[in-house]
Chains A and B, each alone.
Chain A
Amino acid sequence: METQIKENTSFDADKIREHFPVFFQPENEGLIYLDSAATTQRPREVLAAGTEFYEKFNANAHRGAYKIAEKATEAYERAREKVGQFIGAKDSSEIVFVRSTTEAINFVAYGWARKFISAEDEIIVSEMEHHSNLVPWQIVAQKTGARLRFLRMNENGVLPLEQLDSLLSTKTKLVAITHVSNVLGTVNPVKEIIQAAHNVGAKVVVDGAQSAPHLPVNVVDLDADFFAFSGHKMLAPMGIGVLYGKTALLEEMDPVYYGGEMIKDVDYYQSTWNDLPWKFEAGTQNIAGAIGLGAAIDFINNVGIDNIRKHDHFLTEYALNELKKINDLVILGPMNNRGPAISFNLDNIHAHDLATFLDQKNIAIRSGHHCAKLVMKKFNVAATARASFYLYNTKTDIDALVHALNEAKGYFSKWR
Chain B
Amino acid sequence: MALDELYQEIILEHYKKPKNMGLLEHADIKVEGKNPFCGDEIELAIKLKDDIIENVTFDGSGCAISQASASLMTEKIKGKSISQVKKLISTFKKMVKGEEDSQINKDNLEELLALQGVSEFPSRIKCALLAWNTLLLGLDEKLKKQAGEK
Contact = CB atoms under 8 A, between A and B. Distances in A.
A382 B121 contact: no
B15 A356 contact: no
Interface string A366-385: 01110001001000001100
B62 A382 contact: yes
B10 to A, nearest CB: 13
- Of residues A350, A368, A369, which shows the largest number of chain B Cβ atoms within 10 Å of its Cβ? A350
Interface in B123-137: 123-124, 127
A383 B40 CA distance: 8
B39 interface: yes
Interface in B23-68: 37-41, 61-65
- Of residues A357, A368, A416, which shows the largest number of chain B Cβ atoms within 10 Å of its Cβ? A368
A15 interface: no
A376 B40 CA distance: 12
B106 interface: no
A306 B37 CA distance: 35
Contacts of B62: 350, 352, 382
A357 B12 CA distance: 15
A412 to B, nearest CB: 9
A414 interface: yes
Contact of A382 (B16, B37, B41, B127): B41
A269 interface: no
A352 B16 contact: no
A383 B121 CA distance: 19
A373 B34 CA distance: 13
Contact of B63 (A350, A376, A411, A416): A350
B12 A352 contact: no
B65 A353 contact: yes
A396 interface: no
Contacts, number: 47
Contact of B38 (A360, A383, A414, A416): A383
A416 B64 CA distance: 12
- The interface size bin for chain A is 10 to 19
Given A356-B6, A411-B3, A414-B12, A369 B64 contact: no
Given A350-B64, A369-B39, A382-B41, A356 B124 contact: yes
A382 B16 CA distance: 18
A414 B61 CA distance: 20
A356 B125 CA distance: 12
B65 A382 contact: no
B124 A382 contact: no
Nearest to A381: B39
A228 B57 CA distance: 46
B61 to A, nearest CB: 5
B149 to A, nearest CB: 35
Interface in B1-28: 3, 6-7, 12, 15-16
Given A352-B127, A414-B12, A357 B38 contact: no
B5 to A, nearest CB: 11
Contacts of A356: 3, 6, 121, 123-124
Given A350-B64, A353-B63, A369 B12 contact: no
Interface in A333-386: 350-353, 356-357, 360, 367-369, 373, 376, 382-383
A373 B124 contact: no
Contacts of A373: 39
Contacts of A350: 62-64
B3 A352 contact: no
Q: Which 7 residue pairs of A and B lie closest in terms of their CB atoms, listed nearest first?
A: A350-B63, A352-B63, A369-B39, A368-B38, A382-B39, A353-B63, A382-B61
Interface of B: 3, 6-7, 12, 15-16, 37-41, 61-65, 121, 123-124, 127
Given A351-B38, A353-B65, A383-B38, 17 more contacts: A351-B63, A352-B40, A352-B62, A352-B63, A352-B65, A352-B127, A353-B7, A356-B3, A356-B123, A357-B3, A368-B37, A369-B38, A382-B41, A411-B3, A414-B12, A415-B12, A415-B16
